[in-house]
Amino acid sequence: MLNKVPEVTLYFWVIKILCTTVGETFADYLNDTLGFGLNNTSILMTGLLAVALVLQFRTRRYVPGIYWLSVVLISVVGTLLSDKLADDMGVPLVDTTVAFAILLAVTFAAWYVSERTLSIHSIVTTRREAFYWLAILFTFALGTSAGDLFDEQMGVGYWPTVVLVAVLIAVITAAHFALRLDAVLAFWLAYILTRPLGASIGDGMSQPHGAGGLGLGTTGTSVLFLVVIVALVVFLAVTKVDQTERPLVGSDDLDDDPDDDPDDVKDIDRVRA
């Protein structure tokens, strides 16, 4: 199958940050504003995520609507996973941050040992896609715990956290382009950091003025960002500017299931490189 994730363009990062913001505010909206409660909200959103991932895994190529729906839902579930441990079960944010960091590291290690690559430009087998989405879940959970740790427990505040994380992302970007920092490492570092960035933006916009926010509320913030996400995804679906349409060179020599043949995976990696 063709690569199952979009090309990493400016649109990718903009929608990713918007999704992280929605993950923070929509979870709060369902949990607090609508009064679903943390358990019911977690069950509902996990069920919807499961449906979205089934659709995502059944496709043979990147489909913007399905892919970004999965990202939005996994951002909500990742937020709820962190909140469940910290708020409902009383696990300290330091502990959840460390735990999710370890789980993410283990996921990356298993992914690399199995596939010899962590590049998102080679998500062309079911096994790689499974590793990819598991890593995405832990990046959202880790980012939520780390963001809450800085925002709330350490008292840094929403907007100072936004500035701090944005500076870190800028440093990583500069290191990649100017100092030749490995592209895969730079991508995943930036991907993890966009979670506390988006979450802090969401909190800063939704929280009341007395708490340092803009007072838009979780409803207004969620609706605003969801509308922008839908508009951008429709634009990408129409223009296909973030899609790799070309078939794999020499794909006739590949088996239908590259998972069964490591040589096929190596062939695909050479093509994508």
pLDDT of residue 139: 92
Q: What is the 3-state secondary structure (H, E, C) of 97-163?
A: HHHHHHHHHHHHHHHHHHHCCCCHHHCCCHHHHHHHHHHHHHHHHHHHHHHHHHHHHCCCCHHHHHH
Cα 232 to Cα 18: distance, rounded to the nearest angstrom: 10
Q: Which of 147, 70, 134, 74 is nearest to 104 (CA)?
A: 134
pLDDT of residue 1: 66
Cα 79 to Cα 195: distance, rounded to the nearest angstrom: 10
* DSSP 3-state percent helix, strand, coil across the chain (nearest 5): 80, 0, 20
pLDDT of residue 245: 53
Cα 215 to Cα 150: distance, rounded to the nearest angstrom: 20
Cα 216 to Cα 225: distance, rounded to the nearest angstrom: 12
CB 246 within 8 A of CB 121: no
- Per-residue pLDDT tens digits for 42-94: 999 999 999 999 999 999 889 999 999 999 999 999 989 998 998 889 999 99
pLDDT along the chain (273 residues), means of 10: 86 93 84 83 93 95 94 92 89 94 96 93 92 95 85 79 92 95 94 88 85 84 92 94 60 40 45 42
Domain boundary assignment for the chain: 10-241
Q: How far is CA 3 from CA 8, 60, 141, 254, in A?
A: 12, 8, 25, 15
Q: Which of 221, 175, 186 is nearest to 200 (CA)?
A: 221
pLDDT of residue 273: 40
pLDDT of residue 47: 96
pLDDT of residue 210: 79
pLDDT of residue 222: 87
